[in-house]
Amino acid sequence: MNILLVHNYYKIAGGEDTVFESEKSMLEKHGHKVITYTRNNKELDDLGPAKKLFTAIHSDFSKQVYSEISSLIKKHEIDIVHVHNTLTMITPAVYYAAVDNNIPVVQTMHNFRLFCINALLYKNDQICEDCISKGSPSPGVKNRCYHDSLFQSEICARILNRNRKKGIYRKINYICLTEFNKEKLIEGMKDNIDPTKIFIKPNFVPDRYEELKSEPVLADKLIPQFSASSGSSIKGSYYLYAGRLDISKGILDLVKEWPDDPNLPLIICGDGQIRNELETQTKNVSNIFILGHKDHAETLNLIYNAEALIFPSRLYETFGMVIAEAYMCGTPVISGNIGNGADLVRSATPDLLTEIKKEHLQALLTDTLKKDNSEKCRQYYLDHFTEEKNYEILSSIYSSIF
């Protein structure tokens, strides 16, 4: 197939960018001709005030994008248009260009943006489904859910409302990363989509299991410096949180409820806006160690050698890439009972779902946790999150809509 991959990069790089690049490489490996159309929201920085306002007002449909996508479809005899992100520069014009040229289009749902202005279903430090209940993005505008801006929230609502009325969302196909996300998409879009055009395909994680087995334990190098400064020592295996340091990720809940037991050390790997608050809270706690940001290779090493990864997110999340990476490593995951984190853990090791409360955590944290669950987690990865399995699913989706 000749495939046109479409992606709008955000100003700050994120997981969607990684997935876009990984799937492009995967498709090329399997002999497909892949053409890419990309834009970047950094383009906005080069625009004057008047042009920025014009771009914002017309962010529901770009004539330039429509023309450029149509030209690429004809020039390269495109069979499938696969979209990852359209906000802000690409706009939904890409859908119209594909449909008007009789080319099937599929949109990967990396978030909840089609029915939630901030794309997270989260507001005021808790889950929010107001726009689902209302059947409209109007609550998101009222609450300034996009960048805490009434104007920008209005623009997001305008994009959704205009394209819902035009019926374009019913004419395209969707890839959801999980069954949970599919259910939310159907619930959030109601009559604005065709449920028969929704497919499920998770993200994939490269298999580095054999490589990680041969590496020295990075924690042996990193932990002692913290032990020395605190005057404490770490006994036994460690547990790990790896992710952004943000209230929505539940890390404050985790440190508050972590058992005060020298045999249960918790390593926190990551950085973010509440790092100072975390360091203050854990200043006199002898078994919690904040390492800060580590590169991806170091983080995987820490995951591989951990007794378990802890996933305390307050968010539904849209996938949970770190869970897939933990399963690749054969490392079990303890998750709070919410959203996609819960669904992934429930499917592999249901006994490791828990409330993020001290008594529940204490009951789960044992030195046999990894021994008892490692094989299950590794097998779940092999069955669901390898590149080979991912291509098998994606090619099946393409074939069914082509």
Domain formed by 209-384, architecture: 3-Layer(aba) Sandwich (3.40)
Non-local (6+) Cβ contacts of 312 within 8 A are: 241, 249, 250, 251, 253, 254, 335, 336, 356
Looking at residue 47, its pLDDT comes to: 85
Closest CA to 112 of 318, 314, 315: 318
pLDDT at 17 over 50: yes
The mean pLDDT of 188-193, rounded to a whole number, is 95
Query: How far is residue 291's CA from residue 282's CA, in Å, rounded to a whole number?
Result: 12
> For the ranges 12-16, 64-68, 298-302, 376-380, which has the lowest average pLDDT?
12-16
Amino acid occupying residue 182? K
Closest CA to 206 of 381, 31, 334, 396: 381
The mean pLDDT of 249-272, rounded to a whole number, is 95
Looking at residue 237, its pLDDT comes to: 84
Residue 137 neighbours by CB distance under 10 Å: 26
The full DSSP string for 159-226 is HHHHHHHHTGGGGSEEEESSHHHHHHHHHHHGGGS-GGGEEE--------HHHHHTS--HHHHHHHHH
Please give the CATH number for the structural domain made up of 2-204+387-401: 3.40.50.2000
The mean pLDDT of 268-283, rounded to a whole number, is 95
- Could you tell me what percent of the chain has a pLDDT over 90? 86
| Higher pLDDT among residues 323 and 231, named by residue | 323
What is the largest distance, in Å, between two alpha-carbon atoms of the chain? 68
Looking at residue 84, its pLDDT comes to: 98
> For the ranges 62-71, 154-163, 232-241, 349-358, which has the lowest average pLDDT?
232-241
Looking at residue 235, its pLDDT comes to: 56
In the chain, which residues fall in CATH 3.40.50.2000? 2-204+387-401, 209-384
Element counts in the chain: helices (H) and strands (E): 18, 13
The whole-chain average pLDDT of the chain stands at 93
The mean pLDDT of 38-50, rounded to a whole number, is 89
